[in-house]
Structure 1
Amino acid sequence: MVTYYRDATVEITSDRLRVGPAGYPISALHRVWHRRGSRRWSGVVNRGALGLLMLGPLVAATFGILVALLLETSIAVTAAIVAGSVVVGLAAVPVADLLLDQVDRSYDRGTRELELWALIGGAPVRLLHSTDARRFNQIYRALQRAVESSGVRS
C-alpha cells in the first residue's frame, strides 16, 4: 500500500481516501474534479492593506524630501530633513520583507473556498472543502495520483 498524502484529517493511500470520519475506496471514486467557490474579499483587502503598508514609509520619505526642497530654509536644515527622509525610506526595507512574507502566506491561504468532488455510486459527493489553497492542491494532486495508479478513470 502506497501513502500519497496524510495529515490530521485526510489520508490518501493506494486503496482508500479518508476525510475525517468518512472513508471511500479509491476504486469507488469516478470522475474526480474540483470546484472553486466565490471569492472572499477579505483576503483581497488584506493583501491591498499590506501593499499600502509597504508603500507608506516610501511615500513619507518622498514627501519629506519634497517638503525639504520646497521650504526656504538653510542648507543644514534642508540636509537634515532630507537625511531623515532617507532614513525613513531605508526603514521600509526590513518592514517590506516582513510584509512580503505575509503576502506570500495570504496566497497560500487563498481567497476562495475550494471543493473536491467525485462521483460515488453515480451520485456527486463533496469529499473536501477548504480555503487553504496549498493544502487543497496537495490533496488534489495526491488523489489524482492514487486514482491514476489504480486504473480508475477520473
Structure 2
Amino acid sequence: MITYYDDRSVQVTSTAVRVDGRTYPLAEISMLWHRRGSRSWRVLAGRGAIGAALAGPLVAAVLGVGLAVWLHRSLTVTVAIVGVSVLVGLGVGPLADFLFEHLDRSYARGSRQLEMWARWRGQPVRLLRTGDALRFGQIYRAVQRAMESGQAPGQNSIGSSGSIAKPRSRP
C-alpha cells in the first residue's frame, strides 16, 4: 500500500481515501471533481489591513517630511521632524518582514472554500471542504495520483469542476 497524503483528518492511500474517520475505497470511486465557493470578504479585508499596516508608517514618514518643510521652522526643528519621520519609515523594515509573511500565508491558504467531490457507489459525495487552498491542492492531487495508479489505460475517472477528463499519460 502506498500513502500519497496523510494528516490528522485525511489519508490518501493506493487503496482508499479516509476523511474524518470515513473510508471511501478507490475501487468504488468512479469520478472526482472540485468546486470553488464564493470569496471570503473576511480574508480579503485581512489582506487589506496588512497592506494598510505596511503602508502606514511609510506614509507617516513622508507626511512628516512634508510637514517639516511646510512649517518653515528653524533648521533644528526641521531636522528633528525629518529625523523622526525617517526613523518611523525605517522602523517598517522589521515589521514589514513579519507582515509580508502573513500576507504570503494568506494567499497560500486562499480566499475561497474549496470542496472535493466524488462519485462513490453511483452517488455524488462531498469528500472534503476546506478554506486552505494549499492543503486542498495537495489532497486533491494525491487522490488523482492514487486513482491514476489504480486504473486501466483509457478509463475516464477524473474530472475538474464536474467534467469528465481522460487521465494524462506519464512519459
Determine if the TM-score, normalized by the shorter chain, exceeds 0.5.
yes
Q: What TM-score does the superposition give when structure 2 sets the normalisation length?
A: 0.87
Q: Where does residue 71 of structure 1 map in the other structure? A: 71
Q: How far apart in 2 are the matches of 1:85 and 1:110?
A: 36
Q: How far apart in 2 are the matches of 1:19 and 1:81?
A: 60
Amino acid of the structure 2 residue aligned with 1:132: D
Q: How far apart in 2 are the matches of 1:77 and 1:39?
A: 49
SS at match of 1:38: strand
Q: Where does residue 30 of structure 1 map in the other structure? A: 30
Specify every segment of 5 or more residues in structure 1 that has no aligned partner in the other structure, as ranges: none
Q: How far apart in 1 are the matches of 2:57 and 2:30?
A: 54
Q: Residue 109 of structure 1: CA displacement? A: 2.4
Larger RCO, structures 1/2 (Cα 8 Å, 6+ apart): 1
Q: How far apart in 1 are the matches of 2:94 and 2:17?
A: 44
Q: Residue 108 of structure 1: CA displacement? A: 2.5
Q: Residue 135 of structure 1: CA displacement? A: 1.0
Amino acid of the structure 2 residue aligned with 1:126: R
Q: Where does residue 121 of structure 2 map in the other structure? A: 121
Greater fraction of residues in helix:
1
SS at match of 1:8: coil
Q: What TM-score does the superposition give when structure 1 sets the normalisation length?
A: 0.96
Q: Residue 83 of structure 1: CA displacement? A: 1.0
Deviating 4+ runs (over 2 angstroms): none
Q: Where does residue 147 of structure 1 map in the other structure? A: 147
Q: How far apart in 2 are the matches of 1:134 and 1:73?
A: 55
Deviations 1:16-60 (A, max 9, x none): 111112101112112201100111100000000110010000000
